[in-house]
Structure 1
Amino acid sequence: MKKINWIQPLDSPISEKVINDVESYFNIQFPLDYKKCILNFNGGYPQPKVFDTDVKSELVFSCLLSFTSDDANIVEVYEMKSQVLPSGIYPFARDPFGNLLCFDYRKNVSEPTIVFFDHEVEKEQAIYHICDTFTELLEKLYSLDD
């Protein structure tokens, strides 16, 4: 497995109860690999952070959305974007430009895929498939210095 260094924000660590509360609010179950990560790195910034999709290259995974902070709070971001996000798409991270990395539950509610949501594009055209799992996303990360 690829080594990811997480730069910690000032967000406090979270408990499984906090994650369960958000899952209940969204009426979904987050993937286990994501839950393990967020328990340790709530609101964290990964290094390396660049990834490619089949459609675009050199996209940036800036940070995980926080379960505790007012800045980039996972529920608040969802609420702000819910009018433009297709049903079944839930953000979990962002890039530096206002775009979101999301779980896509539309085809499989127990194993969501990972998609990129481009906020400057209309609805379905705004969604780009990245990979099938959160772990696979972390494996795709690279540095532009590589």
Structure 2
Amino acid sequence: MSVSWEPYLREVPPEVAPHHIQALEQRWGITLPAEYKQVVSKHQGMTPTPSLFNIGRGKNVFCVLLTVTHTEQRDSYSVWSGYESLQRYMPPGIYPFGMTSGGEALCFDYRESPSSSQPSIVLVTVEGDLHRIAGSFADFLDNLHD
């Protein structure tokens, strides 16, 4: 199923220049998936349609793709802010890219292979639990449904 992106934080989000993504990769010491780079460069701060994903026997909602560029009014929706919050209680190798409607973090999981450009996708619950939800970012987007 193809994903379309709708406004969430702003009517027209600013495009992400390649140097912003490179700075993020340098800071975190990882290589982000090519599919993520393509999506975030045009759709940061937007919400996907469809937006449901399976988690165990239940479902959850991918609410917003976190921003890479700095926006003062919406800093709580940035990958930078999300990472700062998570690193206090998450093991190294967990990096946020999205948020659910309940405020849980959707993250890349580089713990098993830090040099991979295809990390698995995990949900970090508000309790700090990790749940694997997809083998890659592309698989995660392909499995979104109504």
In structure 2, runs of 5+ residues without a counterpart are none
Please name the residue that 1:20 is paired with: 22
In structure 2, distance between residues paired with 1:43 and 1:85: 23
Q: 1:87 to 1:56 in 2, by over 3 A?
A: farther
Equivalent in 105, 117, 124 of residue 124 of structure 2: 117
* Structure 1 vs Structure 2 CA RMSD: 1.3
What's the TM-score, normalizing by structure 1?
0.88
Q: How many residues align?
A: 137
In structure 2, distance between residues paired with 1:47 and 1:97: 17
What does 1:52-71 correspond to in 2, within 5 Å? Answer: 52-53=54-55, 55-68=56-69, 69=71, 70-71=75-76
Q: Is 1:94 aligned with 2:99? A: yes
- Tell me which protein shows more strand as a share of its residues: 2
In structure 1, distance between residues paired with 2:57 and 2:93: 23
Q: CA deviation at 1:56?
A: 4.2
User: What do residues 50-91 of structure 1 show as CA deviations (whole Å, max 9, x unaligned)?
Assistant: 0103x2421111111101232411011110221112211111
In structure 1, distance between residues paired with 2:25 and 2:77: 17
What's the TM-score, normalizing by structure 2?
0.88
In structure 1, runs of 5+ residues without a counterpart are none
Of all paired residues, the percent bearing the same amino acid is 30
SS of residue in 2 equivalent to 1:91: strand
In structure 2, distance between residues paired with 1:39 and 1:19: 8
User: What do residues 113-132 of structure 1 show as CA deviations (whole Å, max 9, x unaligned)?
Assistant: 001111224xxxx1111111
Amino acid at match of 1:115: V
